[in-house]
Chains A and B, each alone.
Chain A
Amino acid sequence: MVLTLMAIMITLLVLGFPMMVPMIVAPLVIVLMYFPNIDPQLLTQQLIAGVQPFVLLAVPMFIFAADIMCAGQTANRLLDLVETFVGHVHGGMAITTAASCTLFGAISGSTQATVVAIGKPMRQKLLDIGYKEKDVLALIINSSDIALLIPPSIGMIMYAVVTGASVGELFIAGVGPGLLILAFFAIYSYVLAKKQNVPRRKRATWEERLRATKKALLPLGFPIIIIGGIYSGFFSPTEAAAASVLYAFILEVFIFKTIKVSDIPSIALSTGLVTAAVFILVAGGQAFSWTISYAKIPQMITSTLLGTSPTALKILFTVTLFYFIGCMFVDPIVVIIILTPIFYPLALKAGVDPIHLGIIITLQAAIGSATPPFGCDIFTACAVFDKPYLDVIKGTPPYIVMLIAISIIMIFFPEVALFFRDVAVG
């Protein structure tokens, strides 16, 4: 059954079928072949269920806001401001991109929304400066995933729901590894820019910086509205996405007057198209994961792999492998729901700290969705930037090396995650 499933998936995928076909057809074939008691029409229920979570609304909203900002001036003004401050540093703009993705992803709670909202304006700017497309895309998709580790993280809340671990402790424990990855990426960006000799601008004078700041004053309201709004409890992260649409709309239409109200429907259309291309895969991912849960495939594989009383180290490596592979196809949240109940009791028995396990799981979920061959963020980037698959993944190998290194560090040195937790909890 596992072999049939994989064979269908991979064949259709490699032949270049639209991803939605393998995602939906593979589970359909499994149901038809192995589960005569299930009416195959029930897979429709799972397709719908996949796009049901309310928090998914943040994705089209952030895409929409980004589309409006890029059509007008908001994005450029912000970018000019950043450039006057960091444009003279090797890799300065790339490092800013990584930091913005981390911050934005932490707030939006969606790696896909981050790819779009930060990636879209930043990519153009970085290309203009002289960065290579492959490096830019790899930077964007990988940095967007750091967000899963920075609170408020939906992945961690899901883990807490399934295991009963403390959300607060997970949040604190995620910060250390999150910043560690950001540091790795920043160093890499610096080295790469220096090696490639990416053009730098002259250090801006304070006068230029002041001028750029003035121009960017209103666009700077974005982080204030989003972060302020969420942390003051005025709105939820999902609603913050819509608030940023409203703010972008007011700025561009009424203040900068760069776009007209009548332009909005066509911008919304482009948002709708990208959203649909991503969400049909989210829907398919649900049908896929439902089928493997129904068939109890993960349980089958883990029991063969792990035996009855595995060691802590063996469990952590298996966890790493499973979440990494799982998140290639399916949204991290779904993978956490399906796999965590299988591993959690085993890990607990082997003496693994539940918070440590939670961080490893979140980290792997993040890595899996950004690394080739498959990953939801790769696909999102393909859809948003309308780029062929190979172009999107070409620059990722160095990131994979860094992330694997960090995974190993995390497995052997739980302190990276637990230090802050232990200080906070005492």
Chain B
Amino acid sequence: MLSKIEEAILSYSIIIMAIILIGNVFSRSVLNRSWTFAEELGQSLVIIVTFTGISYGAKKARHINMSALFDVIPVRGKKIFMYVISSVTSISMFYLAYLASIYVMKVKTLGRVTPALRIPIYLVYLIVPIGFFLGGIQYARNFWINVKEKEVYLSTEKGIRGTDDNEEQYINV
């Protein structure tokens, strides 16, 4: 369910970005009237995509990392690495969610709005604490699946099956 919502947000934000940009070109050159809201709407969508992607990327194990060391250590080491990485990341995400929610409250009190549409800006920024919070939950789930299962899991949806000669293959869950 949550995945579906995240997928919809990511996907339609990208589509709407394209529509706004193209629409603005059309309006400016054909109707001779620029859309003054294009910039702020585009920026808002970028913010939404970026922070929605935290938990979704964590679920798909698609966040960028430097895996050089992780790739060469044996399977048992990988397991320990995953415990440390997912728990520390999860806690960091929860703390960031907390900080971001204080920030958003503050922005709400100060009453800043977007320039053209005059939408209260805190409504857009709300995605930041939500994104970190869901990210925290997802990394906690990544931690838990590694506790529960024998194999090493990069995320709840992507595991590694180690073999004797230490070559791994991905398993999809």
Q: Which residue of B lies closest to A246 (CB)?
A: B22
Digitize B75-119: 1 where CB-to-A-CB distance is under 8 Å, 0 elsewhere: 000000100110011001000100110111010000000000000
Give the complex CA separation of A61 and B25 in angstroms.
15
User: In the complex, what's the smallest C-beta–C-beta distance from A333 to chain B, in angstroms?
Assistant: 15
Decide if B68 touches A269 in the complex (CB within 8 Å). Answer: no
Q: Which of B14, B85, B104 has the most CB of A within 10 A?
A: B14
Residue numbers in A under 8 Å from B63 (CB-CB):
18-20, 277, 280
> Is B50 on the interface with A (CB-CB < 8 A)?
yes
Decide if B65 touches A18 in the complex (CB within 8 Å). Answer: yes
Q: Which residue of B lies closest to A271 (CB)?
A: B14
Q: Evaluate whether A279 and B11 lie within 8 angstroms (CB atoms) in the complex, with A16-B67, A19-B63, A234-B25 already known.
A: no
Give the complex CA separation of A245 and B71 in angstroms.
36
Decide if A268 touches B15 in the complex (CB within 8 Å). Answer: yes
Residue numbers in B under 8 Å from A268 (CB-CB):
10-12, 14-15
Residue numbers in A under 8 Å from B71 (CB-CB):
388-390
Q: Evaluate whether A25 and B57 lie within 8 angstroms (CB atoms) in the complex, with A15-B84, A379-B64 already known.
A: no
Chain A interface mostly helix, strand, loop or mixed? helix
Decide if B46 touches A51 in the complex (CB within 8 Å). Answer: yes
Decide if B18 touches A245 in the complex (CB within 8 Å). Answer: yes
Chain B interface mostly helix, strand, loop or mixed? helix
Residue numbers in B under 8 Å from A337 (CB-CB):
none
Give the complex CA separation of A64 and B10 in angstroms.
12
> Is B143 on the interface with A (CB-CB < 8 A)?
no
Q: Which residue of A lies closest to B55 (CB)?
A: A276
Q: Which residue of B lies closest to A269 (CB)?
A: B11
* Chain A, 258-292, CB within 8 A of any chain B CB: 264-266, 268-269, 271-283
Q: Evaluate whether A16 and B66 lie within 8 angstroms (CB atoms) in the complex, with A57-B42, A242-B17, A388-B71 already known.
A: yes
Decide if A18 touches B89 in the complex (CB within 8 Å). Answer: yes
Give the complex CA separation of A268 and B17 in angstroms.
11
> Is A167 on the interface with B (CB-CB < 8 A)?
no
Residue numbers in B under 8 Å from A60 (CB-CB):
14, 17, 46, 49
Decide if B125 touches A276 in the complex (CB within 8 Å). Answer: no
Decide if B64 touches A19 in the complex (CB within 8 Å). Answer: yes
Give the complex CA separation of A15 and B82 in angstroms.
10
> Is A45 on the interface with B (CB-CB < 8 A)?
yes
User: In the complex, what's the smallest C-beta–C-beta distance from A330 to chain B, in angstroms?
Assistant: 14
Q: Evaluate whether A242 and B21 lie within 8 angstroms (CB atoms) in the complex, with A16-B67, A390-B67 already known.
A: yes
Decide if A389 touches B18 in the complex (CB within 8 Å). Answer: no
Q: List 28 A-B contacts (CB under 8 A).
A: A13-B66, A16-B68, A16-B70, A20-B54, A24-B92, A41-B103, A44-B104, A54-B39, A57-B42, A60-B46, A234-B29, A239-B24, A239-B25, A245-B22, A264-B15, A268-B11, A268-B12, A272-B9, A272-B10, A272-B13, A275-B53, A276-B50, A279-B50, A280-B54, A374-B66, A383-B64, A388-B67, A389-B67
Closest CB pairs A-B (n = 8): A276-B53, A272-B10, A242-B21, A16-B70, A18-B63, A44-B103, A269-B11, A268-B11
Contact surface of A with B, Cβ cutoff 8 Å: 13-21, 24-25, 28, 39-45, 47-48, 51-52, 54, 56-57, 60-61, 64, 234-235, 238-239, 241-243, 245-246, 264-266, 268-269, 271-283, 373-374, 379, 382-383, 386, 388-390
